Amino acid sequence: MRLDLIKKDGLYRVQKMDSGNPCIARLMTMGLLPDQELRLTHEAPLGDPIAIEFNGCQMSLRLRDAALIEVEPIR
């Protein structure tokens, strides 16, 4: 499923991502790579952007970019 559609409090694992997008490329240099586990921690009051947590750091990204990341639920 797409990262922009995931629910809070579940644990997910990255399956694939579109590395041609500059946002995604930037997240990859920060360690968000295929097989990385992540959680959705917050949604902004207006629904966009969202905050995800991986490897002990919290990053905010917009739904438009999150839609380019495929994840699978693992819990």
Partner 1 sequence: MSTQPPLSVALIGNPNTGKTSLFNMLTGLHQHVGNYAGVTVEKKTGTWTLPDGGQVNLIDLPGTYNLNAASLDERVAVDVLAGHSSDAAPPDLVIVVVDVENLRRNLYLASQASELGVPMVIALNCWDVAERKGLQIDSKLLEQRLGVPVVPTVARTRRGTGALAEAVTRALETRPMLVRPRWPEAVTDSIADLRRELVETRDETLREGELQRLLFDRRSAVAERLKTPAAERDALLRAAREKLHLGGYQPDAAESLLRYRFLNPLLNDILERQAAMKKRSTSESIDQLLLHRVWGLLVFVGMMYVVFQSVYTWAGPLMDIIERGVGWLGGIAGGALTATPILQSLVVDGVIGGVGAFLVFLPQILVLFFFIALLEETGYMARAAFLMDKLFSWSGLNGKSFVPLLSSFACAIPGILATRTISDPKARCITILIAPLMSCSARLPVYLLLIGAFIEPEYGAAVAGLTLFAMHFIGVLLAGPLAWLLHRTLPRSVASQPFVMELPHYRVPQLGRIGHRLYESGSEFIVRAGTVICAMTIVIWALLYFPRPPELAETVQATAQVESPGISEAELEHRLNAAYLKQSYMGRFGNAVQPVFAPAGYDWKITVGVLASFPAREIIISTLGITYALGGEIDEDSDDLRSTLAKARWESGPRAGTPVFNLPVALSIMVFFALCMQCGATVAVIAKELHWGWAIGSFAGLTALAWVAAVLTYQIGMWLA
In terms of phi and psi (left: phi > 0; alpha: psi -120 to 50; beta: otherwise), the region of 10 is: beta
Q: Given the complex with partner 1, which of 16 and 72 has the nearer CB atom?
A: 16
Kindly calculate the radius of gyration of the chain based on its CA atoms and give it in whole angstroms.
11
Does position 15 interact with partner 1 (CB under 8 A)? The reply is no
* Nearest Cα to Cα of residue 18 among 68, 62, 75: 68
Each residue 22-61 as x (binds partner 1 by CB under 8 A) or -, in order, gives xx-xxxxxxx-x-------xx-xxxxxx-x-x-xxxxxxx
Q: Which residues are at the interface with partner 1 (CB under 8 A)?
A: 19-23, 25-31, 33, 41-42, 44-49, 51, 53, 55-62, 65
